[in-house]
A and B are shown apart, each in its own frame.
Chain A
């Protein structure tokens, strides 16, 4: 372990223990204030008018009908945007509202918004706005954008990014060659807590305060300020309670609309999306089509990979360029290989916009490479475990980007530990109906059910890439005998607030740690995404606490004539290692006034060159999954019985929380494998509801058997790696491979639907 790692205590609430969530009691009692629970005196409700067409030119907008309805306060369109007319994370290419004369580019694109006294009044007002569209033929096939036959649907063009990787000796031809074309459907993050924001304008009309459920307060504020033509410092963003995120809250959804309505009406405004609107209001996981060809020697050792990846980014850019780079740079998966030719495209179509979702491009790449590994195993005459162990990546390996793997890389150990987990007993012929495919529908015959076992192993980059300095900030104050930590890190359910307290308790030797409001009154924390907050904001909180501790030691040494250089925290005491003299921390902090703000930056990364070469990622984590499924071959129904997993986590900081991340990620990966897909036809979403977009229920969730591989990561400030994304990545191909084994079909697309299996 690196000497920079905070010492682990066994004291409850410190690092390594299952500390209690500071938000837990409020959450179980129903008192926790989610953003959709926010309310202000004199508040109006807001709502958004959206285009029913995926591609159409707006010839006129008449809002006068809305103003005739009692209770309607304010209507806004593109003409009411005082600042920048567009927003976006990487390219600012998405209009706040589609304007007259311009086109709407996806079904659900905002055209106008209203504020009124009741949500139902808002709906009537939206119905009274007359928009005349000239309907155009949508561009829906990404290949038409690549070939150039599609009409250019945006001034910035139809290609978000084209990036190649050309690595090593590309002329090598393997004795064994396997290939396939794989497809991944459009998945929704489907967080439970719908989009919601409350904007409260100040009395002078110069600024506002907003309570919003987001992943990145400072980035939201920047984009809002640009569109409002208002200095950032006039806007205070406060984190409203966040009901899950999974990537869907990284982009702007209702933030600018809510702020504009509040500024124009001069009254507090809340917009809360319903479920249907949420499907139109946020970006989704990119659907992708991936061709891959693996070359291996006669033993099965991979010698070259060829691939072509096409990500459909939909109408606006969001994070498509970064998702693409994540996809292509993870082509090789967690396996040794230096030779590659990869061609990647992220394109603009009139389909729903896509952006961040847990796994961020790697989910798509992993489904392809793990499908390939199954074919390679067969071709080489090896088992799924043998082929993966034979090729397992290690620290020091050169990757296809030229980057040297310098993270702890226990790939073989992940595979072996997963393999050692006992398989579940075979399904009995008198099994409880709830446990067989299709459940109590009484449709599956146990004699038609076949069991399959499949594997998936993955590699995931941590933090942002390609030269982006996604630093984090934290402040530690010790005043009036109280330790207070402040940060702008979005708590979205993952438990960072709990971790921040654990860090402060461990570093400072106190039991009570107060958390200040999560808002923009402190420096940026970066986004709660990319499995980065434990590392980045954890690093910032640790740094702030350590800086405060140094000042406390100065004070204590002087006051008590102790040896300054020999002081350390032991439990809840400050101890002089030389003399053994002790002072309780609680006594030591009485009367001191310390205030330290620190930033944590990860080592710099760099852009890729035109051949995809460069040290573009900060660090990596690994995981193995083994799936056991029962499949009804006649009906095409699947029951995932067990998932075994061993995950490279660096260090477990909170065992209960770590288990929750693993089980939750597995459920989402299971969803992509067998049920979850936003169905888009001619640019229109066909299933924007929880009736038609299926999510894993309690009965669908498998038994999860997990092992944590704890080899501390020297580069990480706490020795821990981010654990949020890996659980959902390779579980999808593991389940697909298990179904393939049971069914004996290639099944190149997820989600695997019943008719893929039985027809």
Chain B
């Protein structure tokens, strides 16, 4: 489908650029330059794991990792993310296998409607990489940018504790 560019009052510009997502280089063709990373991941690159729920960085549903930092992809311009390493929920588990964080969300009941889940999963991976042994208060604080409306966070807290314990035992 051809895309007509909605740059109000300005000359329309077809842009082409490349993004490295989950270790693979993707070409983005004929895109409007104003598109967010969230939109491009979801609508152009076939990676719908990151979710949009507030469009202003308040809910964390769109969390992805850009160059080792957890960011809200709704607040990042896609064209500004060239020459970065982008990691989305789809790229966490090798070959479709579940990560320990994903398994713990299932075993501890951290998933209900699941809309916040991919953002949480990415944020928890990021947390535990930077702080392998968080206290409960540290878990709560570092995940306070991710809103969940279903669970009340109790089972998610349990999931994070479970992964931290497992990793401690395995290390």
Contacts and interface: CB of A to CB of B under 8 A. Distances in A.
B32 A28 contact: no
Interface of B: 1-6, 8, 32, 34, 39, 42, 47-56, 58-59, 61, 88-90, 93, 96, 98, 102, 105-106, 108-109, 111-118, 121, 137, 139-141, 143-157
A492 to B, nearest CB: 6
A435 B148 CA distance: 19
Given A71-B4, A435-B137, A691-B56, A190 B146 contact: no
Interface string A10-52: 0000000010110111111111111011000011000000000
Interface centre among B42, B111, B117, B149 (most CB of A within 10 A): B149
Contact of A701 (B52, B115, B154): B154
Given A118-B3, A274-B55, A691-B56, A656 B114 contact: no
Contacts of B147: 192, 690, 695, 697
A190 B106 contact: no
Given A120-B34, A194-B53, 20 more contacts: A28-B114, A29-B89, A30-B48, A30-B121, A33-B48, A36-B52, A37-B48, A117-B3, A124-B6, A192-B61, A192-B149, A193-B113, A241-B114, A275-B53, A664-B150, A664-B151, A689-B56, A690-B59, A699-B140, A699-B144
Interface in A669-718: 689-691, 695-699, 701, 704
A615 B116 CA distance: 41
Given A435-B137, A690-B56, A701 B51 contact: no
Interface of A: 18, 20-21, 23-34, 36-37, 42-43, 70-71, 117-121, 123-124, 190-194, 241-244, 246, 274-275, 432, 434-435, 440, 492-495, 656-657, 659-660, 662-668, 689-691, 695-699, 701, 704
Given A30-B90, A690-B147, A657 B109 contact: yes
A689 B54 contact: yes
Contacts, number: 203
A42 B102 CA distance: 35
Contacts of A696: 152
B102 A28 contact: yes
B4 A494 contact: no
Contacts of A440: 141
Contacts of B144: 697-699
Contacts of A699: 140-141, 144
Contacts of B102: 25, 28-29
Given A432-B137, A435-B137, A699-B144, A494 B112 contact: yes
24 contacts: A24-B111, A25-B102, A26-B114, A29-B102, A34-B51, A36-B51, A37-B48, A71-B6, A121-B4, A193-B115, A244-B149, A434-B140, A493-B112, A660-B154, A664-B151, A667-B149, A668-B149, A691-B56, A695-B147, A697-B144, A698-B141, A698-B143, A698-B157, A704-B152
B151 A28 contact: no
Contact of B4 (A31, A117, A274, A704): A117
B53 A25 contact: no
A662 B132 CA distance: 29
Given A664-B112, A704-B154, A194 B1 contact: no
A36 B50 CA distance: 11
A705 B42 CA distance: 39
A667 B152 CA distance: 5
